[in-house]
Structure 1
Amino acid sequence: MPKISQKGYDMPASPIRKLTPYAESAKQKGKKVYHLNIGQPDIETPKGMIDAIKSINFKVWAYTPSEGILSYRNKLAQHYNRINYNITPNDILVTNGASEAITIAMQTCLNSGDEIIIPEPFYANYSGFACMANIVVKPLLSVMNDNFALPSIAEFEKVITDKTKAIFICNPNNPTGYLYSKEELESLRDLCLKYDLFLFSDEAYREFCYDDREFISPLNLSGFDDNVVIIDSVSKRYSACGARLGCLITKNKAIYKAALKFAQARLSAPLVAQIAGEAALDTPDSYFIEVKKEYTQRRDLLANGLNKIPGVRCSVPGGAFYILAELPVNDTEKFCQWMLEEFDYNNETVMMAPASGFYSTPGMGKNEVRLAYVINQDDLKKALICLENGLIAYNSSARD
């Protein structure tokens, strides 16, 4: 039988989705599963997006331009310029989700074998995207004791080589919820200019910043435009993960011209999603005010609840809707699977994402999990009770 490619063997499985068969089996047994493993919000999608889809009356479901529908890109540019990005529609490439924007950015800016520095823990699929592009991830550890703040510039310089071509950040961060400060971004700007590096910035959670803290984008900084590639998505902002609609933004014309060729090769982003995405840009500010208020309450509930469980600790996120928590077990992948396969509390259990998949350094994150506070507060309270009782049962049986 023919063998699959080495890349097929090397491609990492998603820590967010790999335990899904165990969750489905638990549900078939009649258990209620609280999904804290995946960033699928239960917040309602804005009515304007749904109404736009219902009102579609085209007679041919046609291709769209490879760079995206012009009317959508016009409204996107207006949206971003309200937060001082100072871009034009011709700086925006509409993509099949942020995932495609990342893969296009990597393939556009890096050659096979080049290196990209990413502070870890980081969104697990970055590893998969890097594998697809045949580039090397150089991780740089951020730690819970420092609330997962950006590592020092001196630490960055230790791992820069002649193969280093880019730095990649997610702000606010998935999975830690850390929100980078203006000072941290300015230090990254100076570093990128010094070593002639690209800076990729994943801004999918831009609207979700808490405690009156300000979001800063690299495009808000001066003297940096040619180095910056912004990655964005409608998935989290509008609770529209299934739309699979994102974009790549850059003022660097060479990047854009090359990225467009990759976009042409895959033809186009989805028409219906772009119609809905264009309507989404009319969503009133009141929607985000209420959503942010709700997420702040969920964050506080989950963080406080976790830190009250013996042996569990976590920092309080400044943005996004994830918490990285340390549990009193040696291997959270085994524990998370056990919670689904063998445990229930009042016929309920919890699905979490083992954190080792959010690290590139082998052995890191073995006693950590990522939890997404994307379910309602009553269910979060019940999930915390399940988790606490699960830890007691697991450790008392010495399964670890």
Structure 2
Amino acid sequence: MPKISNKGLQMPESPIRKLVPFAEAATKKGKKIYQLNIGQPDIKTPEGALNAVKNHDISVLSYSHSAGFESYREKLAKYYQNSSIPVEKDDIIITTGGSEALLFAMGSITDPGDEVIIPEPFYANYNGFATASGVNIKPIKASIDNGFALPPISEFEKLISEKTKAILICNPGNPTGYLYTKEEVKQLADLALKHDLFIVADEVYREFAYDGATHHSIMSLPEIAENAIMVDSVSKRYSMCGARIGCLASKNKEVMATAMKFAQARLSPPTFAQIASEAALDTPQEYFDEVIEEYSYRRNLLVEGLEKIEGVKVAKPKGAFYCIAELPVEDADDFARWLLESFDDNNETIMVAPAAGFYSTPNTGKNQVRIAYVLKKENLERAIVILEKALKEYKLQN
């Protein structure tokens, strides 16, 4: 029998989606599941984006330019310029989600065996993207004790070798919700210049910053223009996860010319989704103000509820809509499966994402989970009650 590739065997499962079969089985048994495991917002998609697709008169659903619609890239550049990010349309390639943008970035700046430094915990699919590209991740651990702030720059320098090509950050962070300060972004920029490295910044949660905080983009620093690569997406900003539209942006012409070859190889991003995404750029600020207010409320509700549960430790996020919670369990994977297979409270349970999959270092984060606060108030309150009861019962059984 033909053999599967080593790359395929090494490809990690998604900690976010691997429990889906257990959830499906629980649902078939009649259980109601409050899904805290996945960052699927329940906020309505802007009507303008949906109407742009409904009302578009297309007789032939054709390819777009490999870089995406020129009109979309022009409007997107203006959006970034309004956020103090000095890019033009030719500095942007539209991609099939932020995932494809990350793959294009990896493919453009690394060779098999090269290394990328990433503060952990990090977005779990970075492990998958690295495996697909033959890249080795050099993790540097952030701590729940300080809210997962940027580790000391001296710790980054210890990991830099001749194979190091880039530092990858998510800002605000998934799964931590940490929002890097202006000083932290500047420290990373200085480090990249000192060692001639790229900084790849995943900024898909840029609009989600709380308590009056400001998002500071790596692209806003002119001194690092040739080293900075930004990944973005419409998924969370406009509650359009299913559109699968993102972008790669950089002022480095060589990087963008190389990424374009990858873009040409996959032909083009989806046409209807670009139409919706371009229309979404006309969404008024009031939409974001309401969304930020809602998520800030949900964050406070969740964190305050978790802090009241005995043995639970939580880092209060400053952005995005996730938090990492440390639970009084030895194995969060086992606990997460048990929640779906063996536990219910009045025929209801919850689904969480075990955090070990958000680390690259083995046997790390085994007692942590990522919780997405994307549920409305009453469902989030109910989920907290279920978690507290579940932890008590799980402790008695183990």
Q: TM-score range by the shorter chain?
A: over 0.9
Matched, 1:211 2:219: no
What is the aligned partner in structure 2 of residue 255 from structure 1? 255
Matched, 1:138 2:138: yes
2:256 corresponds to which letter in structure 1?
A: Y
- Distance in 2 (alpha carbons) for counterparts of 1:44 and 1:168: 31
Number of the residue aligned with 1:223: 223
Partner of 2:157: 157
CA displacement 1:112-165 (0-9 Å, x = unmatched): 110000000000000000000000000000000111000001000011111000
Aligned: 1:337 with 2:312: no
Q: Which one-letter code corresponds to 1:66 in the other structure?
A: S
The 2-side partners of 1:242 and 1:199 are apart by 28
1:77-126 deviation per Cα after TM superposition (whole angstroms, max 9, x unaligned): 11111111111100000000000000000010111110000000000000
Which amino acid in structure 1 is aligned with residue 374 of structure 2? Answer: V
- Equivalents in 1 of 2:244, 2:250: separation in Å? 20
Matches within 5 A, 1:11-22: 11-22=11-22
What is the CA deviation profile of residues 299-346 of structure 1, one whole-angstrom value per residue up to 9, with x for unaligned ones?
A: 000011011000001011000000100000000000000000000001
TM-score (norm 2): 1.00
Q: Distance in 2 between matches of 1:144 and 1:267?
A: 42
What is the rounded CA distance, in whole Å, between the counterparts of 1:86 and 1:194 in structure 2? 23
Counterpart position of 1:47? 47
Structure 2, unmatched stretches of 5+, are none
Query: Any idea what the Cα deviations from partners look like across 1:277-310, whole Å, max 9, x if unmatched?
Result: 0000000000000000000000000011011000
* Secondary structure at the counterpart of residue 62 of structure 1: coil
- In structure 2, the residue matched to 1:310 is 310
Task: Please give the alpha-carbon distance, in whole angstroms, between the structure 1 residues aligned to 2:83 and 2:40.
Answer: 26
Cα distance between partner residues in 2 of 1:61 and 1:216: 38
Partner of 2:60: 60
AA aligned opposite 1:392: K
Give the Cα separation in 2 of the matches to 1:117 and 1:312.
Answer: 30
Count of residues in correspondence between the two structures: 398
What is the rounded CA distance, in whole Å, between the counterparts of 2:147 and 2:83 in structure 1? 27
1:377 paired to 2:377? yes
Residue 375 of structure 1: how far off its partner (Å): 0.8
Give distance in 2, aligned partners of 1:323 and 1:79: 28
| Structure 1 match to 2:107 | 107
TM normalised by structure 1 equals 0.99
Partner letter of residue 36 of structure 1?
L
Supply the RMSD in Å over aligned alpha carbons. 0.5
Are 2:331 and 1:323 equivalent residues in the alignment?
no
Percent identity over the alignment is 56
Alignment partner, residue 5 of structure 1: 5
Match of 1:201 in 2: 201
- Write the letter of the residue equivalent to 2:221: L
Question: Deviation of residue 57 (structure 1)?
Answer: 1.1
Aligned to 1:12, the other structure's residue is in SS state coil
Q: Provide, for residues 242-273 of structure 1, a one-character-per-residue CA deviation record: whole Å limited to 9, x for no partner.
A: 00000000000000000000000000000000
**Cross-structure match for 1:95:** 95
Other structure's SS at 1:154 match: helix
Tell me the distance in 2 between the aligned counterparts of 1:209 and 1:126: 23
Aligned AA (1:236): K
Q: Which residue pairs with 1:396 in the alignment?
A: 396
Letter in 2 for 1:63: Y
Give, as a single letter, the amino acid of the residue that structure 2 aligns with 1:234.
V
How far apart, CA to CA, are the structure 1 residues paired with 2:279 and 2:51? 9
Q: 2:268 — aligned with what?
A: 268
Matching residue's letter, 1:144: I
Give the drift of 1:20.
0.3
